[in-house]
Amino acid sequence: MKKHFHLKLVLIISAVIIFSSCSVYKSNDNIKIFPPESVKVLEDGSVPPGFIEAIKESGVDRSCISCNSQNRYGAFLKSYSEKSASDLLKKLFPFLKNIGDTKKKELDEILEDHMMWAMVRAVLIEGNNNNFGAIVLKGMFWKDSLGKKHPLTVFRTALTPSPSDPTSCFHTLLKHGNVKHVINLYDGDMDVADLVAGEKKTAKMLGASYMLASENGFGQWRSVVRKHPEKGKDRSEAKRSVKKLIKEQILLPGGKPPRGNILIHCGGGMHRTGMIIGILQRVINGTSMEEIAKSYSYHTGYRGKDKIGGFERGNLDFIAEFSKGDIK
């Protein structure tokens, strides 16, 4: 049982699109933001940097929320999906008469992609690695029905299992974490329609608004940053999309001051979520890039320079392009 448990933990969650090292990214050498070796290797039950302080400041009862801060990055899922697709295609060959090499290659790619995301979803849901974290935004508050002010807390997670279940991470976070607005940043190829439906149903039942970024015109800013790590027009467009998202969904959700805390997540809670949280830390809280890098590293499963997990230097460089007060 123990061996099976640890085997599951080896598989790592993310929107597994990138498998390259951080060395491919062009960075600003004047900003020392690669995570220092002081970043601790993740241990089961560990918590993100600053998490305990943020929860304490938020006033939320952590014991009522069924979310964990575990995160794992599936470094082998790509190779597994390629081999599985190739093996399956060989078994199908006897049934594929009169199919040319071009069609076989296309079919191989389709099978590989399908298997890839099926495995990611299986690890994400069965592994229940929530990648839970939180930050409190300085100088920002929400008021309860009695007019009492509470610090505005932004929670972060990955997609989590069974969002309609009263004991799930998502449900307990909304009910006991005073979350009144949910931002779903996921915009990938994994089939998550049932999870989105469950989140929407739960949010409506508990009086929270729900925003699916892929349906609200915020653009492919994550893809832009990944494909164009250098500064320029494309990055400017990505910055405009992110500024719009932060203004309209975090600072003034629905055009009004927040009426409760906010939950933001993507697929694995690493890249899209990591960039938005990092930018909030930088422009609202004035957090140093070194501290942002530590938090970002934790949530991407960074374990050292030889085991970078889902760490992408380009994401930190993008965060560093913003400055305190940049979003008004």
Q: pLDDT in tens for each of the 328 residues of the chain?
A: 444 434 333 333 333 323 333 222 334 434 444 444 444 444 545 789 899 999 999 999 999 999 999 888 776 766 777 777 777 777 777 777 777 778 778 877 877 777 777 777 777 778 888 999 999 999 999 999 999 999 999 999 999 999 999 999 999 999 999 999 999 999 877 889 999 999 999 999 999 999 999 888 887 899 888 887 676 667 888 999 999 999 999 999 989 999 999 999 999 999 999 999 999 999 999 999 999 999 999 999 887 777 888 899 899 999 999 998 888 7
Q: What is the pLDDT of residue 16?
A: 33
Across the strands, what pairs with 183? 211, 264
Q: What is the pLDDT of residue 186?
A: 92
Q: What is the pLDDT of residue 112?
A: 76
Phi-psi region of 61 (alpha: psi -120 to 50; beta: other; left: phi over 0): beta
Question: Rounded CA gap, 282 and 324, in Å?
Answer: 6
Q: What is the pLDDT of residue 231?
A: 64
Inter-CA distances, 118 with 189, 270, 319, Å: 10, 19, 31
Could you count the other beta carbons within 10 Å of the beta carbon of residue 228? 16
Q: What is the pLDDT of residue 233?
A: 66
Buried b (16+ CB within 10 A) or exposed e, 88-105: ebeeeeeeeeeeeeeeee
Question: Rounded CA gap, 268 and 261, in Å?
Answer: 21
